[in-house]
Structure 1
Amino acid sequence: MVPDITWLAVVAATISTMVVGSIWYTPKVFGNYWMRVAKVSPGAMKNAVVPILITLVVSFISAWVLAGATYLSFQFYGGSFLANALLTALILWGGFTAARFITHDAFEGRPVGLTVLNCVHELVTFMVMALIIGLFGV
């Protein structure tokens, strides 16, 4: 079975990751805290073209995988496409994203607050992507 993916939803979900990240890491929200605990200087962020392009590519891949996994979940379990999207995002986030962040950050000795900040950011990002994908439906 090949997942039926709504590409417009994938593109919109990809763009949403940039919006969420721009809000989340703005200095007035969590940006100042993030820069302090991650030891990132404000000057280092002046040339962010390459990280932004990388983020767009990996966000597209994440949205595409989430859309495909949601379709498969919906085909298997039935019910609401939106509910399947949100639950699939939560499971994928917990099983892959959060688990990997926690493991790597523990070995790198990163502050717990930074790990929590980044994990919750990824949770919000995945849930917004799921909301978009779920609302587009199949």
Structure 2
Amino acid sequence: MVPEINIWAVLVATLSTMVVGSVWYTPKVFGNYWMRTAKVTPSGEGKDAIKPILITLVVSFVSALVLAGSVAIAQEFYGGSFLANSVITAVILWAGFTAARFITHDAFEGRPAGLTALNCAHELVTYLVMALVIGLFGT
């Protein structure tokens, strides 16, 4: 069984990750803290951002596609509200995979707990926004 996936929902969810990241990591929100804590020094050259942005788009597409497929499977199994299944599935996938892996890697790399919390929270918001997009598009 291949889950039914709305490709438009996946594409919009992919783009939503760019919006969330742009707001989250802007200097007036968490950007200054993130750069200081993660020891990131921007070069000031716009061209240096092209590769990370392209990588982010590809990875975000994969995440949105997996989330949409997982939601379709959850919907088939549980029934009920597609939007609710989208949000619940996003939280479960975030907690079980994204947050768990961030915490593990950051612990071994000795990263500050605040940085781990910031990045995990960013991923949670990103997944919730993707879930809302996917859930509102429906199947």
Task: With the length of structure 1 as denominator, give the TM-score of the two structures.
Answer: 0.98
Alignment RMSD (CA, Å): 1.0
% identical aligned pairs? 72
**Alignment correspondent of 1:86:** 87
Deviation at 1:45, TM superposition (A): 6.8
What secondary structure, in the 3-state scheme, does the structure 2 residue paired with 1:43 have? Answer: coil
**Alignment correspondent of 1:115:** 116
**Alignment correspondent of 1:71:** 72
**Alignment correspondent of 2:3:** 3
Which stretches of structure 1, 4 residues or longer, exceed 3 Å deviation after superposition?
none
Shift of the 37–26 alpha-carbon distance from structure 1 to 2, 3 Å rule, reads: same
**Alignment correspondent of 2:49:** 48
Code of the residue aligned with 1:133 in structure 2: it is I
Deviation at 1:111, TM superposition (A): 0.3
Deviation at 1:43, TM superposition (A): 2.2
**Alignment correspondent of 1:13:** 13
Counterpart Cα distance in 2 of 1:92 and 1:60: 15
Code of the residue aligned with 2:124 in structure 1: it is L
Code of the residue aligned with 1:37 in structure 2: it is T
1:30-69, Cα deviation, whole Å (9 max, x unpaired): 0000000000113267411100000000000000000000
Code of the residue aligned with 1:15 in structure 2: it is L
Counterpart Cα distance in 1 of 2:35 and 2:107: 19
Shift of the 112–11 alpha-carbon distance from structure 1 to 2, 3 Å rule, reads: same
Please show how residues 25-36 of structure 1 align to structure 2 within 5 Å: 25-36=25-36
Counterpart Cα distance in 2 of 1:89 and 1:45: 35
Task: With the length of structure 2 as denominator, give the TM-score of the two structures.
Answer: 0.97
- Any gaps of 5 or more consecutive residues in structure 1? none
Code of the residue aligned with 1:51 in structure 2: it is P
Counterpart Cα distance in 2 of 1:44 and 1:96: 33
Shift of the 79–32 alpha-carbon distance from structure 1 to 2, 3 Å rule, reads: same
